Amino acid sequence: MDNNKVPDKSETNSSQQSQNPALSALVSLSSQKISTGILLPPDPNTFRPLVLPQVVLTDNNESSSDQLHNSESNAAKSATIIDFSLTNANPILPVISNPEPLSSSTTTLEQNGQFLTDFSFNVNTTIVNEPKSNSTENHEYTTIQPYWFYSKIIQDRLFWFPFSLIDSQRLEQAHLNKIEVISTNGNRYDVNLTLRKRIPVYWTGTSNDVRRSLWFYKSEYDIRFMPFDEETNDLLENVYKKTCTEKIWHTKHEINGETLVFHSPSLMAIHRLEGELTEYTSFSTGIPRTRILKRGLPDELTEDIEEGEKEGVQHLCFVVHGIGEGCDARFRPLVDCVDDFRFVSQTIAHNHFKPYLDEGQIDRVEFLPVYWHGDLHLEATGVDGRLTPITLPSVPKMRNFTNGTLLDILFYTSPVYCQKIISRVISEMNRLYDIFLQRNPSFKGQVSVIGHSLGSVILYDVLVNQVSNQDDPQLEPTIAHGSPIAMFLTVRGINSLAQDYELPTCKGLFNIFHPYDPVAYRIEPLIDPSWTCSPVLMEHHKGRKRMHLGQKVDFIYLEIQIVQNVALEILYRMVYKRL
């Protein structure tokens, strides 16, 4: 016999099977298709995926357990294991305790006193060389930094938002030092660490729940990870620490009626089993059965975290809203719209003035909302109680919208309600300014007022009747957005303003409008009737074209393309006709 001859693969497999009875039985089983079995309901207490033991082939009489404990020798050798791969979709094979007698069409295997019910699929045997990995078992427990979140209800749904990086660090430091109240979000909110509530400072509103979390979950119905409550955080952290310390991975833990399993530091889940699992159990009932766990801040939440606002304020702006309670196309409240002002201001500062921010040469701009609509429409003292009896019951949504929004214009033209609205705006701005100075005692910056729609008319009427006082701060130019000031002046019989006209306590006025805004009007013709210049186009802070201008260019380009295509088609027809 030639000593250099390579043994045939079938001879090698036969030799291995004769030396190891377990391998021989498993290979024999894989050569046949298992018949269809009856899906029996498993015992929920013992339900777990089938884990097949590794079969190690050796050339000596050394026991497998001794080899597994001798990690250094096993690392040098390549252990041959049996790998089961299913040709069909991989079902989870339930372990059944004390099974009922099975019919002749069901194939069963017995392993460690447990019977495994198999279903109709092909079992293939693949022999691979794979070294044993102990990365999970050797994982050591380490502490991580928790992060702080606050809740917000949007369209009747609860969302959790991360605090800025600066605020979260300050909250954590206050928590460790047992400080009860700390300011966040640029001093606009106070967080009560005892009550775990975030409370607005400048305006009246509902408080938000606050959580300190380092454990997060996401079910199949969630689009992002959500933080656990702090009690569950402590419970999960204790179980995780025990798992890492005692190396008890893949162990089930019962928590609040659910099953917790730590497969590895990166694969953790909570399973919920509603009732008994049978072949009729539906997995699309809308109730999440499995929630993926994550220890530490998930990457998708990290992208939403802002650096935070600095303490210094260089410019203060009061924002007065227009008609109605909703302040934009999505009918969001004034507070949310003012948050957009603040966010855009911070974005512009970081994109265009970052060196000055880093060197401390400039500080941030603060925006505070001035709300007057609520006083006008209070049921006790407002106009809603008087409007309800005279309102027709037909088309209720349209009539409620008219009463709560469009009629604000008529109320402002009434001498009684006009004075009530103006008094409310003045008292609210004074109140906000006093609170701001208390929380920012070193403020020496400028103050501006911004009015949108009817709010700009209210500010104009307030400023035009002001008396200049050296003790009061001089206002920077007033900003009017989508303003009907010129229309109101025309209705009041004012046909023109003097060319040297100015507001007593304000340095000027900017009239900013969109060309398609139906309630915006120009003021220049009232000052100079011969004024014919076009409005100055404001560049977008991102450098792109405004939406209406971009669409206009696109339409012109499309029109040119259509004309060219039609001309070419006519030309081709003329040429082909001559041919």
Q: Rounded to the nearest 10 degrees, what angle do helices 454-464 and 415-439 cross at?
A: 80
- 85: buried, middle or exposed (CB in 10 Å: 19+, 13-18, 0-12)? exposed
User: Which residue of the set 453, 456, 483, 496 is catalytic?
Assistant: 453
3-state secondary structure 229-265: CHHHHHHHHHHHHHHHHHCCCCCEEEECCEEEEEEEC
The alpha carbons of the chain give a radius of gyration, in whole angstroms, of 37
Q: How far is CA 306 from CA 152, 164, 303, 344, in A?
A: 17, 5, 8, 13
**Amino acid, res. 158:** L
- The residue among 374, 365, 364, 366 whose CA lies nearest residue 327 is 374
- The residue among 479, 475, 469 whose CA lies nearest residue 445 is 475
- Is 31 a known active-site residue? no
* Start-to-end C-alpha separation, the chain: 86
Task: Write out the DSSP string of 10-52.
Answer: HHHHHHHHHH-HHHHHHHHHHTSPPPP---PPPPTTT-----P
> Which helix or strand (DSSP H or E) is residue 314 part of?
strand 313-320
> Which helix or strand (DSSP H or E) is residue 410 part of?
helix 407-413
CA 255 – CA 215 distance, rounded (Å) = 14
CA 214 – CA 212 distance, rounded (Å) = 7
Residues carrying an active site annotation: 453
